[in-house]
Amino acid sequence: MVLDLAVVLLAYLLGSLLFGVILSKRLKGVDIRDMDNPGGSGSIRKFGWRFGVTVGVLDALKGVAVAFIAHTLVDEPAVVLLSAMAVVAGHNWPIYFSFRGGGGLAPAFGVIIYHFPLEFAAGLVPALLLLAVYKRTPLRRWLPFVGPAPVVSVLGLLTVWSLVWHRHGFYPDSALILAMGVPIALGGYCMMLRDKRRKDNTKPRTTQDHSPSAK
């Protein structure tokens, strides 16, 4: 029991290593969360592909590391599932960075890559096709508040989940992916609220706000 709890706690602490924040502070002298979301897609938007891909890979490796530790030290389905949720939760609400994190997709992908590499590779096919459709059709206008990353990632996750369920059944394998979907959904909602606040704070105030009648 003690080892089980230690593995889940370690998963959360590893997930809390938010590399978008760490690298933006070290290399750029700013906190990316003041400008965008701290994951790979936000890092690409603000600092370019090399920086963003590095952040995304490092965030995914957190999931790989946690999956390896849980599988090697415990290999109990419930602990593997909880540790997967914990690494995603740590990424979304990091204890080291005031609980303001990302959306949890990269560490979730890392967990999936470790446990289901073939299904992950197969899930890339429809995801990349959707990305091409997103860029070449009015889909981006129909979803103005959603960028390509979450749209493509959700399709990829659903594809992987269906393949895992078909091949391995529901518990514990496909249940693992569903469980990670809980903190991913909550983290995505929190990011949406932060995006809205950030955009509201950057909007220029109207002259009416400074007029004597407004006081």
Quickly state the pLDDT bin for 203 (edges 50, 70, 90). low
90 and 19 in contact (C-beta within 8 Å)? Answer: no
- At 57, the amino acid letter reads V
pLDDT of 206 strictly over 60: no
pLDDT mean across residues, the chain: 87
Quickly state the pLDDT bin for 202 (edges 50, 70, 90). low
User: Helix crossing, 175-202 with 148-168: angle to 10°?
Assistant: 170
Find tokens 């997930």 and name the residue: 15
pLDDT of 182 strictly over 90: yes
* Domain range annotation of the chain: 1-111
pLDDT digits (tens, 9 = 90+) for 128-151: 888 787 777 766 666 555 566 777
pLDDT at 127: 84
State how far the Cα of 33 lies from the Cα of 12, in Å rounded to an integer: 20
pLDDT at 211: 47
State the average pLDDT over residues 1-13.
95
State how far the Cα of 76 lies from the Cα of 86, in Å rounded to an integer: 15
pLDDT of 205 strictly over 70: no
- The angle formed by the CA atoms of residues 206, 207 and 210, to the nearest 5 degrees, is 105
pLDDT digits (tens, 9 = 90+) for 77-119: 999 999 999 999 999 999 999 999 998 999 999 999 999 999 9
pLDDT of 11 strictly over 50: yes
What's this model's pTM, rounded to 2 decimal places? 0.85
58 and 49 in contact (C-beta within 8 Å)? Answer: no
The proportion of the chain whose per-residue pLDDT surpasses 90, expressed as a percent, equals 62
